[in-house]
C-alpha cells in the first residue's frame, strides 16, 4: 500500500435501490469523502446509475446485475478498507462476507415498525433514517454536517423535450408512488389542480401516462403533462424550476429535497415516524406534512400495499384539499435562502 492509499481509505457504500433510498445516502457519501478524505465507491443497480453518476463525492460506481458473483469478483480487486452497508439485505451481506473488510450498518427498526403496523404500539422515536445511518457509522468518526441531501446532474442530460414548455412560475405534482396505498387518488389530484392558482406540471412514469393524459384533457389551461414524457434527469429539471412540489411519500419527495425545493407531502398508509420524511436538517419550515390524524388502521404497512385492506382508503380519501393549498401558500412565501 502506497502513501496515497494510506491517506485515503477506500470505502464501498452499498445501496441497491430505489430512487429515494439512494438519494438518502448522499449525506453519508459526502461525509465519508469530505471528513475522512475517503475514496468512495458506490454499489447500486444499473438502472439507478444516474442518481450517483455525477456525484463529486463518489469516485467510482459499481453495478449489480443478475450475477451477484460477478460483481463480487469485480469488487474483490479493490481491497476496500471498509464497507458501509446502507441496504442491509441478503445480497449486501453476501458482498460483505466475500470482501472480508470491516463493515458498518444501521438499525432498520424492524421490530418497532412491526409493532406499529400490527399492534398500533408506537415505539418509534421519529428519528430520521439519515440520522440512524450516522449512528451506525459512529465507529468511523463521521458526523452529519446539516447540509441535507444532494443530487447532481448535468444540463446536457436533462434538456426537456420540445413538446414540454414550462412557464416562469408553476407547481409540480407527483402522480405516482411505488405502492398504490401511497398514491394520491385521482379525485384528490383533481381537487388540487382546481384549487391552486397557476400552472401545474404533472410528473410520473409509464404507469401514470393514462392518468396524465386524462388530466391534461380535463384541464388544458392548467396542466403541463410530463407523465411518461420525461426521463429521471428531465423530471429533476422540472422539479428544480418549480415553486413548490406536492408529492406523496415517494422518490420524487426526496429528489425535491435534494434539489432544495419546498415540499408538501401527502401521506397515505405510511407515517412520518418511520423516519422517511423530508430531510431538511435545521430547516423544518421547508416542508409540510399533510395527513389524516387519528386513523387506527394507519399505518397498515411499513412500505405500502396494492390496495387498502379496509376497502375505504380513508388515509387518502379524507385528506382535506384546503390543508394542501394552505401549505402551498405558506411555502411560496418562504424567504429565499
What are the structural domains of the chain? 8-140 (3.40.50.2000), 155-332 (3.40.50.2000)
Mean pLDDT of the chain: 94
Specify the long-range contacts of residues 120-128, CB closer than 8 Å, at least 24 apart: 120/296, 122/273, 124/273, 124/274, 124/275, 126/272, 126/273, 126/275, 127/275, 128/275, 128/276, 128/277, 128/279
* pLDDT for 2 beyond 80: no
The answer to whether 59 and 85 have CB atoms below 8 angstroms apart is: no
The residue among 6, 15, 124, 115 whose CA lies nearest residue 62 is: 15
Q: Radius of gyration (Cα) for the chain, nearest Å?
A: 21
pLDDT of residue 298: 96
* CA angle (73, 6, 134) in 5-degree steps: 75
What 3-state DSSP class applies to 232?
helix
* pLDDT for 5 beyond 60: no
Least confident of 3-12, 20-29, 199-208: 3-12
Spatial separation of the C-alpha atoms in residues 141 and 258, rounded to whole Å: 24
* DSSP output for 282-333: T-GGGEEEE--TT-TT--S-SS--SS-TTSS-HHHHT--HHHHHHHHHHHHT
Q: State pLDDT tens for residues 116-174.
A: 999 999 999 999 999 999 999 999 999 999 999 999 998 877 889 888 999 999 999 99
60 HSE (CA, 13 A, CB side) = 11
Say which residues have a Cβ less than 8 Å from residue 7's Cβ, sequence separation at least 6: 37
* pLDDT for 196 beyond 60: yes
Q: State pLDDT tens for residues 247-286.
A: 999 999 999 999 999 999 999 999 999 999 999 999 999 9
- Please give the backbone phi and psi of residue 175, each rounded to the nearest 5 degrees, phi first: -80, -35
State CA 84 to chain mean position distance. 19
pLDDT of residue 1: 32
**For residue 105, what is its C-alpha cell?**
450498518
Q: For residue 333, what pLDDT band results from cuts at 50, 70 and 90?
A: confident
Q: For residue 58, what pLDDT band results from cuts at 50, 70 and 90?
A: very high
DSSP state of 176: -
pLDDT of residue 157: 78
Q: State pLDDT tens for residues 215-249.
A: 999 999 999 999 999 999 999 999 999 999 999 99
| 223-225, strands of its sheet edge to edge | 223-225, 200-203, 171-174, 245-248, 263-266, 287-290
Please indicate, yes or no, whether the overall pTM of this predicted structure exceeds 0.85.
yes
- Please give the backbone phi and psi of residue 227, each rounded to the nearest 5 degrees, phi first: -65, 120
What are 11's strand-pairing partners?
A: 40, 82
The answer to whether 27 and 148 have CB atoms below 8 angstroms apart is: yes
Amino acid at each position: 500500500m502506497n502513501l496515497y492509499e494510506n491517506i485515503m481509505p477506500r470505502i464501498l457504500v452499498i445501496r441497491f435501490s430505489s430512487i429515494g433510498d439512494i438519494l438518502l445516502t448522499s449525506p453519508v457519501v459526502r461525509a465519508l469523502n469530505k471528513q475522512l478524505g475517503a475514496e468512495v465507491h458506490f454499489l447500486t443497480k444499473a438502472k439507478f446509475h444516474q442518481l450517483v453518476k455525477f456525484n463529486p463525492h463518489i469516485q467510482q460506481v459499481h453495478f449489480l446485475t443478475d450475477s451477484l458473483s460477478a460483481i463480487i469478483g469485480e469488487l474483490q480487486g479493490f481491497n476496500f478498507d471498509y464497507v458501509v452497508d446502507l441496504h442491509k439485505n441478503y445480497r449486501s451481506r453476501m458482498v460483505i462476507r466475500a470482501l472480508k473488510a470491516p463493515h458498518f450498518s444501521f438499525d432498520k427498526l424492524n421490530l418497532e415498525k412491526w409493532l406499529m403496523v400490527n399492534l398500533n404500539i408506537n415505539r418509534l422515536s421519529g428519528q430520521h433514517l439519515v440520522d440512524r445511518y450516522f449512528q451506525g457509522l459512529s465507529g468511523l468518526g463521521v458526523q452529519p454536517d446539516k447540509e441535507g441531501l444532494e443530487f447532481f446532474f448535468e444540463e446536457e442530460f436533462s434538456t426537456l423535450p420540445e413538446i414540454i414548455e414550462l412557464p416562469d412560475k408553476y407547481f409540480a405534482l407527483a402522480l405516482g408512488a411505488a405502492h398504490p396505498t401511497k398514491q394520491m387518488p385521482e379525485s384528490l389530484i383533481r381537487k388540487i389542480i382546481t384549487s391552486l392558482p397557476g400552472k401545474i406540471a404533472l410528473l410520473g412514469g409509464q404507469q401514470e401516462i393514462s392518468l396524465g393524459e386524462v388530466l391534461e384533457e380535463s384541464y388544458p389551461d392548467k396542466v403541463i403533462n410530463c407523465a411518461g414524457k420525461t426521463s429521471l434527469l428531465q423530471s429533476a429539471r422540472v422539479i428544480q424550476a418549480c415553486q413548490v412540489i406536492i408529492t406523496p411519500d415517494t422518490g420524487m419527495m426526496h429528489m425535491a429535497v435534494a434539489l432544495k425545493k419546498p415540499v408538501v407531502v401527502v401521506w397515505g398508509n405510511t407515517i412520518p415516524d418511520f423516519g422517511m420524511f423530508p430531510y431538511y436538517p435545521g430547516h423544518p419550515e421547508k416542508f409540510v406534512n399533510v395527513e389524516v390524524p387519528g386513523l387506527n388502521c394507519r399505518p397498515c404497512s411499513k412500505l405500502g400495499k396494492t390496495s387498502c385492506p379496509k376497502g375505504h382508503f380513508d388515509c387518502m380519501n379524507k385528506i382535506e384539499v384546503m390543508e394542501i393549498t394552505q401549505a402551498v401558500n405558506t411555502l411560496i412565501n418562504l424567504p429565499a435562502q
